[in-house]
Amino acid sequence: MSELHLSSPEILHRAIARFADVTVLVVGDLILDRFVNGVIERISPEAPIPVLHGRGEMLAVGGAGNVVSNIVSLGGRAVPVSVLGDDAAGRNVMRMFEELGVDATGIGQTRERMTSSKSRFSALNQQVLRFDEEEVRAPNAAERKELVAHFRAALERADIVILSDYGKGVLLDGVAAELIAICREAGKPVLVDPKGRDYSPYRGATAVTPNRKELGEAAGRAVFADDEIVAAARELIAANGFDFVVATRSEKGMSVVDAGSARHIATQAREVFDVSGAGDTVIASFALALAAGADRAAAAAIANAAGGVVVGKRGTARLTADELTGALFRSHGAIHKDAILDAAAAQRLVATWKEEGLTVGFTNGCFDILHAGHVSLLHAARSQCDRLVLGLNSDASVRRLKGPNRPVNDQHDRACVLAALASVDAVVVFDEDTPLKLIETLLPDILVKGADYTIDQVVGAEVVQKAGGRVVLVDLVAGKSTTGTIGKLRAGTGN
């Protein structure tokens, strides 16, 4: 696929929309995550320890399985390949994959192996104890032969590969190196979520995705500043033949570094509840975006937003494409200012805003030459809602409505100017003479027009009211119009 460059939310939206076309092959350690919630009301008479009264529990697939879950939740296709124990924990993992609709035929089960499990005990949403059951062991000869065979078969239909190393044994003793060599031979990109200080077992991978602490451990020194991150990443690239390194940096965001360039993506401020599984979400979303045609910086921007969402959730979390879209458009920063979307992308964004409990407003027009009346209308419209979508007549639509000499500014220029206004959260260009079809698609909570209309004259009023919304008419600035401005310009030039 051709690369998409980080230039506007529209580009990021397009990559997310392509997730459904991507198949990711995931190999690594599968873990059963168990979350037990309860309350602590007394100290045990047997020992000076608190007694947790259980109030319920939840099971989830952790480790490489959480990568798989995130890929599926984001709309992509995931194919897991691994080795599990033929035990209760392993059977729970296989059952949950079946419930996710994941093809788990590439997972071997054997009685000689123990499935890793982690039980987390929490009281009032505060984790008080974690109990791990595991046996770290590399696959034996038979297990390894089966795993590699499953990997080769699945690789044919995969667009990209993730090796998720949780240090439980599946990728030990040269297994990672063998799989990377197979990927290189097949021309398939392979991303590695690494474990430990020595990255030589991953030599030849397309990229590794350490967090800042892991990057420092691999480089043999603490790293904090941008230049320190870049230097450490380039040392790993030179030593291990990686194409690039993606370093996650907690509140500092992300850095994408190759031998000749570096890009730092700032994070969005967000309340952190739990970092469990955030790395899984990051590598899952980064792989999907990269395989969907995004360049490295755009893929990192998407993955950075994804990680910001899941740290605001409790437990080993995953997210949906709609949540990811909402995160990308939440702020009024550089990404937001060019928020020019198509109708489908706007529909997804509006749905996300509504799920967050935000009221969505809509107004429309040609906005050919922006003037004080336009700015006043948009400011008044935005004051009625939490988010404002502006429907913009296309050039062809303006010509039909205003005549062959209009518009003065083409739709791209008009959209860019409008999207840069603080009062506008998204701009959608429509080709029809009226915005009725767009209003039916978006179903805004509030429809705003100028007070020179009556409610029965407002296109889409009935649709919005029937859906439980309302129509608001706002006062216009007297004597301000595009037609009047054009008339003055022509008079001034003698035309």
The amino acid that residue 277 corresponds to is G
Claim to verify: residue 71 and residue 184 sit in the same structural domain: yes
Q: Residue 1: inside a domain, yes or no?
A: no
CATH number of the CATH domain containing 35: 3.40.1190.20
Claim to verify: residue 141 and residue 16 sit in the same structural domain: yes
Residue that terminates a domain, selected from 300, 332, 364: 332
Q: What is the pLDDT of residues 440-461, one digit of tens each?
A: 999 999 999 988 889 999 999 9
pTM greater than 0.85: no
Residue that terminates a domain, selected from 288, 316, 332: 332
Claim to verify: residue 349 and residue 308 sit in the same structural domain: no
Q: Residue 434: inside a domain, yes or no?
A: yes
212 assigned binding-site residue: yes
- From 280, 295, 425, 445, the catalytic residue: 280
Sheet architecture: strand order including 50-63: 50-63, 30-43, 116-123, 126-133
Q: What is the pLDDT of residues 475-490, one digit of tens each?
A: 876 554 555 555 555 5
Residue that terminates a domain, selected from 298, 332, 366: 332
Query: What is the total count of domains within the chain?
Result: 2
Q: Which token pair is 379?
A: 């400011």
Strand 30-43 and strand 50-63: the pairing is: antiparallel
Q: Establish whether 33 is a catalytic residue.
A: no
Which H/E stretch holds residue 426? strand 426-430
Q: Residue 202: inside a domain, yes or no?
A: yes
CB 97 within 8 A of CB 90: no
Q: How many percent of the chain have pLDDT more than 70? A: 88
CB 26 within 8 A of CB 97: no
State the chain's mean pLDDT as an integer.
88
Give the start-end residues of each E strand in 87-176.
Answer: 107-110, 116-123, 126-133, 160-164
Q: Which token pair is 471?
A: 């129509």
Q: What is the pLDDT of residue 10?
A: 64
Give the whole-angstrom CA distance, residue 23 versus residue 19: 8
Q: What are the backbone dihedrals phi and psi of residue 401, each rounded to the nearest 5 degrees, phi first?
A: -85, -35
Residue among 125, 72, 115, 111 nearest 94 (CA): 115
214 assigned binding-site residue: yes
- Total count of residues recorded for the chain: 495
Q: What is the pLDDT of residue 477?
A: 61
Q: Residue 4: inside a domain, yes or no?
A: no
Q: pLDDT tier at 309 (50, 70, 90 boundaries)?
A: confident
Least confident of 223-237, 241-255, 268-282: 268-282
Claim to verify: residue 277 and residue 372 sit in the same structural domain: no
For 42, how many CA atoms within 13 A lie in the half-sphere containing its CB? 4
Q: What is the pLDDT of residue 7?
A: 43
Q: What is the pLDDT of residues 48-99, one digit of tens each?
A: 999 999 989 999 999 999 999 999 999 999 999 999 999 999 999 999 999 9
41 assigned binding-site residue: no
Give the whole-angstrom CA distance, residue 157 versus residue 155: 5
Claim to verify: residue 201 and residue 59 sit in the same structural domain: yes
Claim to verify: residue 317 and residue 368 sit in the same structural domain: no
Claim to verify: residue 301 and residue 266 sit in the same structural domain: yes
Residue 292 carries which DSSP code? T
Claim to verify: residue 324 and residue 350 sit in the same structural domain: no
**247 CB-near residues (< 8 Å, 6+ apart):** 209, 210, 211, 212, 215, 229, 233, 254, 255, 257
CATH number of the CATH domain containing 443: 3.40.50.620
For 17, how many CA atoms within 13 A lie in the half-sphere containing its CB? 16
Its domain, for residue 470, covers 340-493
Claim to verify: residue 383 and residue 255 sit in the same structural domain: no
Task: Name the residue with tokens 């044994």.
Answer: 169
Sign for the CA dihedral angle at 246, 127, 312, 69 comes to: positive
Q: What are the backbone dihedrals phi and psi of residue 449, each rounded to the nearest 5 degrees, phi first?
A: -140, 170
Claim to verify: residue 166 and residue 300 sit in the same structural domain: yes
Full DSSP string of 200-264: GGGTT-SEE--BHHHHHHHHTS---SHHHHHHHHHHHHHHH--SEEEEE-GGG-EEEE-SS-EEE
Least confident of 132-136, 175-179, 313-317: 313-317
Claim to verify: residue 108 and residue 80 sit in the same structural domain: yes
CB 80 within 8 A of CB 106: yes
Least confident of 72-76, 212-216, 250-254, 462-466: 250-254
Q: Which token pair is 180?
A: 């990377």
Claim to verify: residue 280 and residue 347 sit in the same structural domain: no
